């Protein structure tokens, strides 16, 4: 029939492995295991690692990087772009930390590695905003999640 489109007529252009990895890392909200990328893309981990090297090489003069944490990778902004990113997001860096931030930082320093729940149990209050401040300042980093509920 005229005017009807056959589903097989519509073909999407094929993206390069490089473009596919870029797309996946762009939408990921947390670091992605290399094995997961390889599995989703149906390629070997070695191929993923090679593409990541190429991408990071290409990103040298750009505002993005691919950061590796163990066997996980994440697309992040370049450290050189931190001032402009802070301004866009309205993140002001003041010279002093609040007493709550100092207390939380002391707990992390003394007990590391420590979970958010453990910090909150020690402090007796929610630590979401304090931890976000410490993360934004680069004073702590999230390394992952426990393999248990809670």
Provide the pLDDT for residue 67: 92
Q: Does domain 93-150 have CATH number 3.40.640.10?
A: no
39 within 8 A of 55, measured Cβ to Cβ = no
d(CA 29, CA 32) in angstroms, rounded, equals 9
Residues of the chain with pLDDT under 70: 1-12, 92-94, 145-150
- Token pair listed for 140: 């702590």
The answer to whether 9-80 and 93-150 have equal CATH topology is yes
Q: The whole model's pTM is what? A: 0.55
Q: Strand 32-33 and strand 64-69: pairing?
A: unpaired
Q: Per CATH, the architecture of 9-80 is what?
A: Orthogonal Bundle (1.10)
pLDDT of residue 31: 92
Give dist(CA 123, CA 125) in Å, integer: 6
Alpha carbon distance 108, 93 (integer Å)? 20
Show me where the domains of the chain are located.
9-80, 93-150
């Amino acid at each position: 029939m005229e005017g009807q489109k056959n589903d097989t007529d519509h073909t999407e252009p094929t993206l390069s492995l490089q473009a596919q990895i870029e797309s996946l890392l762009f939408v990921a909200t947390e670091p992605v295991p290399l094995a997961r990328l390889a599995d989703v893309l149906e390629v070997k981990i070695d191929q993923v690692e090679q593409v990541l090297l190429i991408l990071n090489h290409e990103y040298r003069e750009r505002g993005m990087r691919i950061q590796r944490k163990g066997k996980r990778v994440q697309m992040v902004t370049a450290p050189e772009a931190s001032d402009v990113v802070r301004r866009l997001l309205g993140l002001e860096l003041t010279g002093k930390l609040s007493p709550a931030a100092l207390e939380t930082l002391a707990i992390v320093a003394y007990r590391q590695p420590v979970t958010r729940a453990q910090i909150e149990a020690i402090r007796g209050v929610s630590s979401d905003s304090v931890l976000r401040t410490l993360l934004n300042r680069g004073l702590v980093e999230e390394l992952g999640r426990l393999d248990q509920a809670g």
